[in-house]
Structure 1
Amino acid sequence: MKQSWWRSAYNQNHLVFKLGISILFVGFGFRLLLTQSPSVIPNLSDNNINTPVVDKNEKSIPSDFAESPKYSYQIHPKDDKSERCDIFDGEWIPNSVGAPYTNNSCRWIESNQNCMTNGRPDAEYLYWRWSPKDCELPRFDAKKFLETMRDKSWAFIGDSITRNHLQSFICVLSQVEDAIELFHDTDFKNRKWQFPSYNLTVSIIWSPFLAKADTFEDINHIPSAEIQLHVDVLDKTWTEQFHTWDYVLFSSGKWFVRTAIYYENNTILGCHGCQGKNHTDLGFNIAYQKVINNLFDFIMNSHRKSMIIYRTSTPDHFENGSWSNGGTCDRRVPAKEGEFELGILNKILREVELAEFAKAEAQASEKGKKLKLLDVMPLSLVRPDGHPGAYRYFYPFAKDKNAKVQYDCLHWCLPGPIDQWNDLLMKLVVDG
């Protein structure tokens, strides 16, 4: 049968037959050439530093707040409208330069994140840099940034991770000119600095929900009662000052997974995790969606032509427990992409914020608003080595090497991986 077909094809058109055979042999030769080509692996020893190696026998990091199922999730959403390099899609590579400042050269680091002063014995976590796959990401140029931001005002609005980032931001800029503090409230959650030679002001506004909320917790963030969250009312702590800022960075997320009673129009709408209460458990995603939607509506309807940056939520890296029941984070090297999965609760937060940002971005282009996404989740997920851990305290094992200490696997050491969020920020607002 096969021979008859070939003979028929040959008899019908001898030229077509010869052409087909030629193409077949060319394709076979090309495939053979590719399969025999050796893979090129860069020699990391050329970097002249000791490159840490990931222990493949270590357990995967569990979900941030609960055990999470396996699933497939695209952590790098692609923008089909643009062929520009995605600075959020990359890997951490060895970097002998280290951090842009030290625990001694910046006086604005909170003690809980001052890992080196608190006695953290290793420093390898400082010698990595984020490298996008398809382009170069320049380091934050503090001098250029200050010149560009002359006579401008910045505000960082959000939770303790936002404050963590703000301190990194201030520390990097202070290597050119030390900031002068103009204001702080009684618990130092709302503060304002100035770089006098440039007339640049930078503020931090404590607003973990970005909305009106009453919270009840102790110094270790252990709640004593349900949070009362008004999902339809934004926090006036920042809304009343919004018109004064040229650049505003918003971020939220983590607080929404806590037990809370939700209000809308001053009436109980439902709750999240409120067992024993006669309320409908709506899930925190509903509250997060409503608040972020209201946030972007406020921005779109504002007459202020500020540049708005929305920072995505970040993971923690607790293992063998959580914040309040013995969780730890003892890893000392970055992970490879795909080694750790995004926890189910972080996945929900991420889906909400990316969807709401996409809607706002479409409106922003129509209304002439400047809106940027600072997507730090991908690069943060693979840095389990960058948290204070036990070194949120001053020399926690000085008296007892086996002391039981509460670990911080949520915030970031300063200096540390979070410093490179500023590289991304500069790319977005100055070089973008």
Structure 2
Amino acid sequence: MMRGAASSGVVAVMLMMLVALNQLESAIANDSLSSNKSSCNIYRGSWVYDNAYPLYDSNSCPFIERQFNCKSNGRPDRDYLKYRWQPSGCNIPRFNGLDFLERLKGKKLMFVGDSLSLNQWQSLTCLLHNAAPKAKFTISRSPSGLSVFSFPAYNATIMFSRNAFLVDIVGAPPKRVMKLDSISTGSLWKTADVLVFNSWHWWLHTGRKQPWDAIEYGNVTVRDMDRLVAYEKAIRTWAMWIDRNIDHSKTEVFFQGVSPDHAQSKDWSKQGGNGSCIGETKPVMGSNYPAGPHPAELVVEKVIKTMKNPARLMDVTLMSQLRKDGHPSVYGFGGHTTPDCSHWCLAGVPDSWNQLLYSDLFHS
């Protein structure tokens, strides 16, 4: 009887120690940021090689999408898994999945955007599953484009709503109209406690991949327009919708920034050329990208500054520009037929996006 009581006591003490350790890690993380918060931009820095990475094994994530699992798809090199983002002015906390789940208890986090948002959603769900591998989870995907991942024990939900443009597209071919000043799907967004938006890549599609036949803004309808101009009009519509409909005392709003592609090696190579990410195995070292700022990112920054209650910009563009090695390339869903220099391998770059989200959301 005494042995049983002693054993129970040991277990209780161990649990208390684990909780205390978790709290200590969070406190240290807060101190590391707060000590030089005024001079630290966590989105400016460089990639450093770290043998403690990756944060999880992609093959241990049972629901990972095939297109992101480069390792399983035969990618032979492993260095792309080993890089950690290091801000120039401070340290950021290592991603702590259990702490994330504790803080997300009873709440919903929703990613809204295109397949780059899917990339980040997939990363976060793998990170959290890795932190609590024995915790039961549910996952569902609907034809409407909503994916829902939940941990019942924590009453925590992480969602992805596929919405590549954020504004409306109405009608059927050949009369599909993109309405740059209209958002009718926002009721779903109001259900979340944390919103992370993204939009850009689909704005560049033409021909059969272009999902509209005309563009409408106000009383004017045209067959096409400068895509960056159209993008800015849509992002302004999104910003006005957020200002009018979201209570920032209850809901945190982020914009993911613009995830770059690496389709042309002239953007990072002094030799120039029209190569792509195929065969790239190392990041661009240092803190500067030769091609300079991304034009769509500049649009997002400009629009957010005009908001009454500005969304928090996850300025992941530069850090991602430096990772020409991080794409599936020929080890994605399309293989050698259609190399992928837009999405990201998992484990990989989106894990660092989520580390920064964790830092910005819970430790800023």
What TM-score, normalized by structure 2, do the two folds share?
0.79
Does structure 1 conserve the Cα–Cα contact (< 8 Å) formed by 2:168 and 2:178?
A: yes
Partners of 1:207 and 1:377 in 2: how far apart?
Answer: 20
1:358–1:306 CA distance, 2 compared to 1 (3 A): same
Identity %: 28
CA distance in structure 2 between the partners assigned to 1:431 and 1:115 by the alignment: 31
Higher helix share: 2
Amino acid at match of 1:234: I
Deviations 1:33-92 (A, max 9, x none): xxxxxxxxxxxxxxxxxxxxxxxxxxxxxxxxxxxxxxxxxxxxxxxxx82410011000
Map 1:387-406 → 2, pairs under 5 A:
387-393=327-333, 404-406=336-338
Contact 1:180 1:195 survives alignment (8 Å): yes
In structure 2, the partner of 1:183 is 140
The answer as to 2:337 corresponding to 1:372 is: no
Alpha-carbon distance between aligned partners in 2 of 1:172 and 1:128, rounded to the nearest angstrom: 16
* 1:207 is the counterpart of 2:175: no
The corresponding residue for 2:238 is: 295
Structure 1 contact 326–406 (Cα < 8 Å) conserved: no
Distance of 1:339 and 1:350 partners within structure 2 = 14
Instruction: Work out whether 1:330 is the aligned partner of 2:282.
Output: no
> Is contact 1:317-1:329 (8 Å) kept?
no
Q: Any stretches of 5+ residues in structure 1 without a counterpart?
A: 1-81, 217-223, 273-281, 366-370, 397-403
> In structure 1, what residue type is equivalent to 2:329?
G
CA distance in 2: counterparts of 1:253 and 1:172, whole angstroms: 25
> Aligned pair 1:125/2:75, yes or no?
no
Task: Give the aligned partner of residue 65 of structure 2.
Answer: 110
User: How big is the alpha-carbon RMSD for the aligned residues of Structure 1 and Structure 2?
Assistant: 2.6
- In the TM superposition, 1:401-420 aligns within 5 A as 404-420=336-352
Larger Rg: 1 or 2? 1
Is the contact made by 1:234 and 1:291 (CA closer than 8 Å) also made in structure 2? no
Counterpart CA distance in 1 for 2:221 and 2:361 is 38
Query: What is the match of residue 303 of structure 2?
Result: 356
Q: What letter is aligned with 2:233? A: K
Q: Give the corresponding residue for 2:154.
A: 198
For residues 152 and 98 of structure 1, the distance between their equivalents in structure 2, rounded to whole angstroms, comes to 29
Measure, in 2, the Cα distance between the counterparts of 1:95 and 1:215.
Answer: 50
User: Residue 263 of structure 2: which of 308, 312, 318 is its match?
Assistant: 318
Cα displacement (A) at 1:108: 2.4
Q: Give the structure 2 partner of residue 341 of structure 1.
A: 291
Deviation, structure 1 residue 287: 1.6
Letter of the structure 2 residue corresponding to residue 431 of structure 1: H
Superposed, which structure 2 residues align to 1:35-54 within 5 Å?
Answer: none
In the alignment, is the contact (CA less than 8 A) between 2:106 and 2:155 conserved in 1?
yes
State the distance in 1 between where 2:190 and 2:68 align: 32
Structure 1 equivalent of residue 29 of structure 2: none
Q: Aligned match of 1:269 in 221, 230, 234?
A: 221
Q: Give the structure 2 partner of residue 400 of structure 1.
A: none
Q: Does the aligned pair in 1 maintain the 2:198–2:255 contact within 8 Å?
A: yes
Distance verdict in 2 for CA 1:352–1:204, change over 3 Å: same
Matches within 5 A, 1:79-228: 83-177=38-132, 178=135, 180-186=137-143, 189-213=145-169, 228=177
The verdict on how the C-alpha distance between 1:176 and 1:104 changes in structure 2, with shifts beyond 3 A counting, is same
Q: Which amino acid aligns with 1:338?
A: N
SS in 2 for 1:92: strand
Q: Deviations over 1:14-49 (max 9, x none)?
A: xxxxxxxxxxxxxxxxxxxxxxxxxxxxxxxxxxxx
Q: Per-residue CA shift, 1:365-412, capped at 9, x if unaligned? A: 7xxxxx311010010001010100000149x5xxxxxxx532000000
Which residue number corresponds to residue 65 of structure 1?
Answer: none
Shift of 1:113: 0.9
SS in 1 for 2:221: strand
**Alpha-carbon distance change, 294 to 406 in structure 1, aligned in 2, over 3 angstroms:** same
Q: Which runs of 5+ in 2 are unaligned?
A: 1-36, 207-211, 267-273
Name 1:425's counterpart in structure 2: 357
Q: Distance in 2 between matches of 1:137 and 1:379?
A: 14
AA of the residue aligned to 1:316: D
Q: TM-score, normalised by structure 1?
A: 0.67
Deviation at 1:327, TM superposition (A): 5.0
Residue aligned with 2:131, SS = coil
Residue deviations 1:282-308 (CA, integer Å, cap 9, x gap): 311222122111111111112533100
Q: Is the 8 A contact 2:96 2:131 kept in 1?
A: no
Deviations 1:208-249 (A, max 9, x none): 000112699xxxxxxx9796311011151xx12122110000
